[in-house]
Structure 1
Amino acid sequence: MKVVMLAAGVGSRLQAAPEKQMPKVLLRFDGKSLLQRHIDILKRHGIKEIVLAVGYRHEDIEREITAIGAEGFVRTVLNKDFTEGNIVTLWTVREEFCKDEPVLLMDADVLYDEGIITRLINSSHENCLLIDRDFDPGDEPVKICIRDNRIIEFRKWLTAEFDYCGESVGFFKLSSRIARQLIDQTGHYIAQSNREAPYEEAIRDLLLTSPPGTFACEDTTGLPWIEIDFQEDIERAKNQILPRIKNS
């Protein structure tokens, strides 16, 4: 199993001055960058390589990889069109999804408890999403909706009726077959010049068209994590999430 991690974006919603805006994967919490935290956790779970899709200020990320001695563990792939939608970033690393092995697809801008990755990797489901039912509803979270024990929606904006829903953590375990299908579907977006789409739309297409039982969820409710999108997320990560991670 390999990890493909998406870290190409600008992170413009953090609203820092351009000269101060670093890639989000380099944000530091308790002296460690998010990248270092990913590496430490994934190594403990037997992962042998992270393929890191980079773009914005990729040289800074390369320097961090060298500084922490991770050159043999992290391999970067450059998305030169990083100002476009993250579906373009996914397309940039498409070859990694066609190598007949399972893939963990991960957003890089997440601070999380190690138990979240444990739950994903150890899941009996070969195609698995993570759902947190304790979340603040609104337009920002990507939501997973469940009805009759099936995933029936996966989007920020909802119209379907459901039994319950939660927020997607942004980490996905994919079988080699579904990984290939995801890249095929991503290719349709690229061919149609729909390059501003979020990559979650391609996942959604597979979720809604695959036979029942193809995908499942693991519930991570209660385990601390946060996706870093806004400045207030950084403060919450430092003051609320990190202390819970350290005490878990």
Structure 2
Amino acid sequence: MQAIILAAGMGTRLKELTRNNTKCMIDISGKKLIDYTIDCLLKHNIRKIIIVTGYCDDNLENHLTIQYPTIPISFVNNPLYSQTNNIYSLFLAKEYLNEDDTILLESDLIFEEKIISRLLSDPYPNLSVVAPYQYWMSGTMVELDKERRITSFILKSAFEQTNTSQYYKTVNIHKFSKKFSRNRYIPFLEAYTKAFGNSQYYEEVLGILTQIEKTELKGLPLENEKWYEIDDVQDYQVAQTLFSAEKNILNNYKEHYGGYWRFPDMIDFCYLVNPFFPTKQILEEIKQFSITLLTSYPSGSQVNNRLAANFFNISPDCIVLANGASELIKALMNILRGKTGIIYPTFEEYPNCLEEQAKVCYTVNSDNFSYGSKDIKEYFEDKDISSLLLINPDNPSGNMIEKKQVLDLLLWAGERNIFMLLDESFIDFSGNGQEDTLLDNKIIQDNPHLAIIKSVSKSYGVPGIRLGILATSNKDIIDQVNKQLPIWNINSYGEFFMQIIDRYRNDYKQACIRFMEEREYIYSELCKITYLRVIPSKANYFLCEVTSQYSSKELTRKLLLEYNIFIKDCSDKKGIKNKEYVRVAIKDRFNNNKLLTALKMLRNENK
């Protein structure tokens, strides 16, 4: 068995990374991309390696000669690399392809070693490694029959979004027998390049073979193996995270702040959204109008503010709809003057907007991080604060103060001329959301020293749309916030969602009921994990103390590395620092069971 690696391309979409080097010479976590590939091949005793070079070939050849001095690597040069595509590179290596069974790889890949293990251990002689289609994938797709035989190659021009459930993405790793190469592939490769030139792709020849005869080529579908194709800068950043050194992997994931749909099969238990809303019907309605929404300007802020006012039954001059609660948090915290009372641990996006000298901090010391209005009043009674932040339910603890106590606290704040900022992003998960909220027009009108922020994205399960509201009867606050926001801060998808959501109020109530049932289930199951102490929560997450076996960081890292599950390590949060806590989002039953299974497996690991 030999390996042919195609490495002639320029990689122009990687911009500065390939200004003076070919793609496979970029570093991923401190190691050259080409070295990952060759080291993997060598571990499987593949020592006959042919590399087709082109752009910056001297750099590549010099590096490999130094890096692998005892390995006889053969080089085939493609002098027309800037004018041709990979069909010509393979055509130049056809004599090698004729000589032996071959693994054919493209050089812009990074992948787990077990992919090659599976490819070599599969007894079928002609295989293309493929992966079930996901949204982030592009390039050549294939379709398989029940026997894994490739029935068609779908190039970019033939791609149909409606058929993606049947598609597999080619990973660009293939295994060809010498017989298949000699008798089928090379003759067609030669004929195709003669007829259509050298600006095509070698997959097109494989596609023709599937069309004119019952092909000998089968697919090898991946399961949970990691791989990534690096075409552009964003691909490079994802690959850097996926293949991070173990000590760096958590920080690298955190630095993305979302976008985890680009990470194959990762289950996100870190970010907090409603798992049961929106419904399929809402999604279909948005999908139906998606082209119109994508190609149309949204309305201005005044129109969108009225949409939000109508839905939440708040006076239009008392509400601002924004591009997520985060946009409002920054705008509002920029306005506040004097010192702000902060209760730790908390959602740190608020205090991060303030200078240290502008914070007066109350750190909750109870075992469950629980507190009530009496605790808050006693602590801040003699403190010099002009505003008070209350997140209810709190993040990350899930602690909630009942409405009667919040109203008492609001009265206390008003008597002391303290502006009260209330975040109710998770109130709908409390169990009595409509009864618990202060997002009421009369309360807002009667208390100009109150401002309420609510993340619509979290509550209604649409974080990709980015929606949040600020409600207050303080006209000066409303005016100052509006001045900081552009006229088109909401996109058309967000506007359309606010336009139609009123018709789905009952569906939303049912989703919240379903959520509470799921919260009870996962709470009871998490309590069975012997190394966790689970803190009761009125939100859509649980804060858990890691009491034995692992540190919080170790548990978070193990879940990510071994099970592709991402939870929140809270050991570095203020108010929790140097204690072992993790936060776990609540998802649907299927994914919750995946988490529970992983936690149980880790429980048994040290037995």
Q: Same fold (TM over 0.5)?
A: yes
Q: Which aligned segments of 4 or more residues in structure 1 are displaced greater than 4 angstroms?
A: 159-163
Per-residue displacement from partner, 1:145-198 (whole Å, max 9, x unpaired)?
124443221123336979722111100000112112222111112212421111
Question: 2-side partners of 1:158 and 1:80: how far apart?
Answer: 32
Moved more, 28-37 or 62-71: 62-71
Deviation by residue 1:218-237 (Cα, 9 ceiling, x = unmatched): 12132111011111010000
Equivalence for 2:178: 176
Match of 2:220 in 1: 218
SS of the residue aligned with 1:145? strand
Aligned to 1:186, what secondary structure does the other structure show? helix
Alpha-carbon RMSD across the aligned residues, in angstroms, is 2.3
C-alpha distance in structure 1 between counterparts of 2:191 and 2:91, whole Å: 10
Take 1:174 and 1:225, find their aligned partners in 2: how far apart are those partners?
21
Given residue 48 of structure 2, which amino acid in structure 1 is its aligned partner? E
8 Å contact kept, 2:28–2:243: no
Partner residue in 1 for 2:293: none
Percent of pairs identical after alignment?
Answer: 23
Kindly state the Cα deviation for residue 7 of structure 1 after the two structures are TM-superposed.
0.3
- Supply the AA of the counterpart residue of 2:212: T
Instruction: Provide the rounded CA distance (Å) in 1 between the counterparts of 2:17 and 2:220.
Output: 38
Q: Could you say which residue in structure 2 is the equivalent of 1:96?
A: 96
Distance, in Å, in 2 between the alignment partners of 1:129 and 1:93 is: 19
1:144 and 2:142 matched: yes
Q: How many residues align?
A: 243
Q: Provide the rounded CA distance (Å) in 2 between the counterparts of 1:209 and 1:121.
A: 28
Q: Secondary structure of 1:98's partner? A: helix
Q: What is the alpha-carbon distance in structure 2 between the residues aligned to residue 62 and residue 158 of structure 1?
A: 37
Higher strand share: 1
Q: Deviations over 1:3-22 (max 9, x none)?
A: 0110001112223387x242
Please say if residues 146 and 162 of structure 1, whose CA atoms lie closer than 8 Å, have aligned partners that are also in contact.
no
For the 8 Å contact 1:129–1:215, the answer to whether it is kept is yes
Which residue number corresponds to residue 421 of structure 2?
A: none
Cα distance in structure 2, aligned partners of 1:215 and 1:92: 22
* 1:145 alignment partner AA: E
| Structure with greater proportional helix content | 2
Q: State the SS of the aligned residue for 1:119.
A: helix
**CA positional deviation for 1:86:** 1.2
Compute the displacement of 1:51 (Å). 0.2
SS in 1 for 2:116: helix
* Equivalent in the alignment of 1:158: 159
- SS at structure 1 position matched to 2:95: helix
> What is the CA–CA distance in structure 2 between the aligned matches of 1:162 and 1:34, rounded to whole Å?
30
What pairs up with 1:184-223 in 2 under 5 angstroms?
184-211=187-214, 214-223=216-225
| Structure 2 stretches lacking a partner, 5+ long | 250-560, 563-607
Whose relative contact order is higher, 1 or 2, with alpha carbons under 8 Å and at least 6 apart?
1
State how 1:96-135 maps to structure 2 within 5 Å: 96-99=96-99, 101-135=100-134
| Aligned match of 1:86 | 86
Distance 1:21 1:204, change over 3 A: farther
Corresponding residue for 2:552? none
> Are 1:9 and 2:9 an aligned pair?
yes
After TM superposition, the score normalised by the length of structure 2 is 0.38
Distance 1:137 1:28, change over 3 A: closer
Change (3 A) 1:199 1:118: same
TM-score normalised by structure 1 residue count: 0.89
Structure 1 position 211, deviation (Å): 2.6
Counterparts of 2:81 and 2:21 in 1: how far apart (Å)?
14
Q: Summarize the Cα distance change of 1:236–1:98 in structure 2 as closer, same or farther, 3 Å threshold.
A: same
Please show how residues 5-44 of structure 1 align to structure 2 within 5 Å: 5-16=5-16, 20-44=19-43
CA distance in 2, matches of 1:202, 1:4: 17
Q: Verify the 8 A CA contact 1:131 1:221 in the aligned structure 2.
A: no
Deviation at 1:134, TM superposition (A): 4.9
Q: Deviations over 1:34-71 (max 9, x none)?
A: 11111111111110211000001100001111221346
What is the CA–CA distance in structure 1 between the aligned matches of 2:58 and 2:9, rounded to whole Å? 14
What is the CA–CA distance in structure 2 between the aligned matches of 1:147 and 1:4, rounded to whole Å?
28
Change (3 A) 1:232 1:162: closer
Distance 1:163 1:151, change over 3 A: farther
2:239 to 233, 237, 240: 237
Quick check: 1:57 aligned with 2:60? no
Q: Which runs of 5+ in 1 are unaligned?
A: none
CA contact (8 A) 1:147 1:164 kept: no
Partner secondary structure for residue 16 of structure 1: helix
The amino acid of 1:103's aligned partner reads T
One-letter amino acid of the structure 1 residue matched with residue 229 of structure 2: E
Distance change (3 Å), C-alpha of 1:137 and 1:111: closer
Report deviation, 1:95.
0.6
Query: Is the alpha carbon distance of 1:237 and 1:88 closer, same or farther for their aligned partners in structure 2, counting shifts above 3 Å?
Result: same
